[in-house]
Amino acid sequence: MFWGSRKTINMNYFPDEVLEHVFDFITSHKDRNSVSLVCKSWYKIEKYSRQRVFLGNCYSISPERLIARFPGLKSLTLKGKPHFADFNLVPDDWGGFLYPWIKAMGKSRIGLEELKLKRMVVSDESLELLSKSFPNFKSLVLVSCEGFTTDGLAAIAANCRFLRELDLQENEVEDHRGHWLSCFPESCTSLVSLNFACLKGEINLASLERLVTRSPNLKSLRLNRAVPFDTLQRLLIRAPQLVDLGTGSYVNDPSSEAYKKFKAAIQSCNSIRSLSGFLEVAPRCMSAIYPICENLTFLNLSYAAGLQSNELTKLIQHCRKLQRLWILDCIGDKGLGVVASACKELQELRVFPSDPFDAGNAAVTEEGLVLVSAGCPKLNSLLYFCQRMTNAALITVAKNCTNFIRFRLCILDPIKPDPVTNQPLDEGFGAIVRSCKGLKRLSLSGLLTDQVFYYIGMYAKKLEMLSIAFAGDSDKGMLYVLNGCKKLRKLEIRDCPFGDAALLEDMGKYETMRSLWMSTCEVTLGACKMLAKKMPNLNIEIINENEQTESNLDDNQKVDKMYLYRTLVGHREDAPEFVWLL
Amino acid sequence: MEVGLKMGFEETELRLGLPGGGEGGEVVRKRGFSETVDLKLNLSSSKQDTSGMDPNDEKVTGLNKEKNLLLSATDPAKPPAKAQVVGWPPVRSFRKNILATAIRKSGSDESSGEKVAFVKVSMDGAPYLRKVDLRMYTSYHQLSDALAKMFSYFTIGNCGSQGLKDFMNESKLMDLLNGSDYVPTYEDKDGDWMLVGDVPWEMFVESCKRLRIMKGTEAIGLAPKAVEKCKKMS
């Protein structure tokens, strides 16, 4: 390197457009964030060229500041309620409202094109405002949201002239039996993806057929259970180019004309790689889809309660290229053995409980998991609801599969020990974290002591999200995790004996994380107040189940639910009465 | 209003430790484990008590059921998870709903249309709403117990235990409404607000869209209408 007289060439001699073009190749949020920290001019260029923004917590920043920071925003992802809201631990009306975001962006010059929401409260009013505020709006994806009806969908359909994607996943939608599908104008031919599987009401079938017919780019279509078999068959004839199909009602008589036509229609759908639906299913009709099984990479039968283990295994045996499988536990351990021998490309497995209300009925055990781990070396993502688990099994799984990124185990009996040895499952989970060096997400269950947290803190160096329930003995457990897991972003804890000492030991840690949830633990109001006082960049929220007011409660009393998160904008204005902002 | 259900709490507290052995293992306080025990408990323990669906046969009080459940929770022979806990297993309500409907439908040939099992429950004066899955219960009494637990200062008085018969008798209805602090009402498919208990349980589950627990004095206006509807149907 020459110093002194020789000028060093640096990238700032390039015009902004060149830098911008270079930045176009940098797509990950993390990398773009890093780029913006290099110097002022890079910050400025990155700021104006940034189109995609991800906000993991909608309360970490205000709509106004977002708009000021990234005026070129085109695609926004927002997440609202804490994860445990999915399991009824957060009362309705807690927050996560979409409307203020739409209002602010609508007033500004933001040309929003894509919106993806998770666990937000979405009103019809906000959907209507959205549909009218952004002429280039293309894509709406709603996951686990609520607060809207089919009237809101009608507004989207009617007003978003260039809509490409309407994807509704597991939302609570009030059905007004409207003809929202008919609201897509005849001129709308741009649809690429339409998913309304979660809707409960009737659908105008003729409108649906016409819509599919005039959508030559349609690649993904997921129907709800109100769409009958013969309509499905007609839709397939109109859209043989589909890549992703979710069936509606899959019930018919194999000897009927409709069934024969369906078999013919599906033969020409040789692009289908992803299959789901089957909320209503007649097992004897499953053989009709065998022809497309050999190309499937994603199969979701997790709502197909009507299929028994042998029907499932017969189907899965045809799916040799499967990468992702979502299934109910009625497949059984033997069935999982079939998966292990047939699906060598499997990366992700989710086994859901077919009877979520009765812990005694789970049909899979540690055996099924061991079989899959032995047969599917590429396995990297697991969600497994089971009746029992042993340390030996987990140790074997850890040996067989070292690539886990996501490992979520739910033993339906919340504090069940290893049934063979009667020991806690510390060693089993310890083996997983030791062996899977890339582990990013972990959910624990079963009988667990502080020891498992010692292992997690020691070995789970890449861990970003940890979910704990009914585990641990003392504050030490939580401290092992907070001290050891440097990359931790989300920690959610329920019913554990972790208290003030653990909470307050390293207050600065929470500024490096997105959020912390603690419910039914040993944390007192006084400790929460202290944390709030010392850390102005954190919002500490207490959700109180009783009718006591803040003044009634003394500092020594334990809080029911505490949710804290880092934020740049202080207390939120929309918190309901039962949420105390400390 | 004190919750009488906390009686005998400490004795029935859940403990961690090897089953069958007490010494050496620490008593870990899972504070509020029994508090998190869900209203659904009513169903799992009372299934044996109420074989038929006749609300008039029930004699088990809510308090007894609670005790039974807590006892079974500490009985080493019965794993604690027989008691269901709020938010456990961690399955999205959306999925639970769908599967619950599917379980009930299995065996029946025709599909009788989608039923929304979860309904919102509001109570006058309570800070926020809750949700219940009506399909988890087989009688008004069970529902009343569940609601009592949810809103622990809520008293249904004797409204739930007698079920159908009392609501046919207008004067007795008036006594009940005047006597009790709160009364459960519901919005039916037509959008009308009705008194809970008017119609047979299955019919109620089909037609109930949401529940509201009103102050008794406000509910009096509903009573004549309720009795009228009943009379028309019988």
Position B101 confidence tier, pLDDT thresholds 50, 70, 90: confident
Tokens of B33: 């484990």
Between CA A169 and CA A195 the distance in angstroms is 8
- State the maximum Cα–Cα separation within chain A, in Å, rounded to a whole number: 89
**Cβ contact A349:A373 at 8 Å:** no
**Cβ contact A445:A413 at 8 Å:** no
pLDDT score at A362? 63
Q: Which residue of A84, A385, A413 is in closest CB contact with B79? A: A413
For residue B234, is pLDDT > 50?
Answer: no
pLDDT score at B203? 83
pLDDT score at A544? 79
Give the CB-side neighbour count of residue A119, counting CA atoms within 13 A.
23
pLDDT score at B111? 38
Which chain B residues contact residue A521 at CB under 8 A? 31
pLDDT score at A52? 94
- Least Cα separation, residue B169 to chain A (angstroms): 35
**Cβ contact A549:A542 at 8 Å:** no
Q: Which residue of B94, B125, B128 is in closest CB contact with A93? A: B128
- pTM (predicted TM-score): 0.76
pLDDT score at A297? 97
The percent of residues in chain B predicted with pLDDT above 70, rounded, is: 37
Segment B126-156, tens digit of pLDDT = 777 888 888 777 778 778 877 877 776 443 3
Segment A284-331, tens digit of pLDDT = 899 999 999 999 999 999 999 889 899 999 999 999 999 999 999 999
**Cβ contact A442:A466 at 8 Å:** yes
Between CA A434 and CA A440 the distance in angstroms is 13
Which chain B residues contact residue A470 at CB under 8 A? 30
- Degrees, nearest 5: CA angle A567-A573-A577: 115
- Looking up tokens 């004066």 gives B125
pLDDT score at A548? 60
The answer to whether the CB atoms of B126 and A547 lie below 8 A apart is: yes
pLDDT score at A474? 96
- Least Cα separation, residue A495 to chain B (angstroms): 6
- Looking up tokens 């060149």 gives A18
pLDDT score at A12? 61
Q: Mean pLDDT score of chain B, rounded to an integer?
A: 58
Residues 108-137 of B with CB under 8 A from A: 111, 114, 116, 120, 125-131, 136
Best CA proximity match to A78, nearest among A101, A94, A47: A101
Mutate: best of B88, B122, B123, B152, partner A, most A CBs <10 A: B88
CA A2 to chain centre: 52
- Least Cα separation, residue A406 to chain B (angstroms): 16
pLDDT score at B165? 45
The percent of residues in chain B predicted with pLDDT above 90, rounded, is: 2
For residue B78, is pLDDT > 90?
Answer: no
Q: Which residue of B16, B36, B103 is in closest CB contact with A520? A: B36
Segment B189-216, tens digit of pLDDT = 888 888 888 788 888 888 888 888 887 6
- SS3 of residue B187 by DSSP: strand
CB of B76 within 8 Å of a chain A CB? The answer is no
Between CA B111 and CA B107 the distance in angstroms is 10
The answer to whether the CB atoms of A422 and B120 lie below 8 A apart is: no
The answer to whether the CB atoms of B16 and A306 lie below 8 A apart is: no
The answer to whether the CB atoms of A412 and B81 lie below 8 A apart is: yes
pLDDT score at B104? 66
CA torsion, ordered A140, A143, A148, A149, to nearest 10 deg: 80
- Least Cα separation, residue A474 to chain B (angstroms): 9
Between CA A314 and CA B7 the distance in angstroms is 54
The terminus-to-terminus CA distance of chain A in angstroms comes to 55
Give the CB-side neighbour count of residue A123, counting CA atoms within 13 A.
13
pLDDT score at A237? 94
What was the ipTM of the complex prediction? 0.87
Tokens of A314: 């017969």
Tokens of A246: 């979710």
pLDDT score at B2? 39
pLDDT score at A69? 94
| Low-confidence spans in chain A with pLDDT less than 70 | 1-12, 178, 357-362, 546-552
The answer to whether the CB atoms of B29 and A414 lie below 8 A apart is: no
pLDDT score at A384? 97
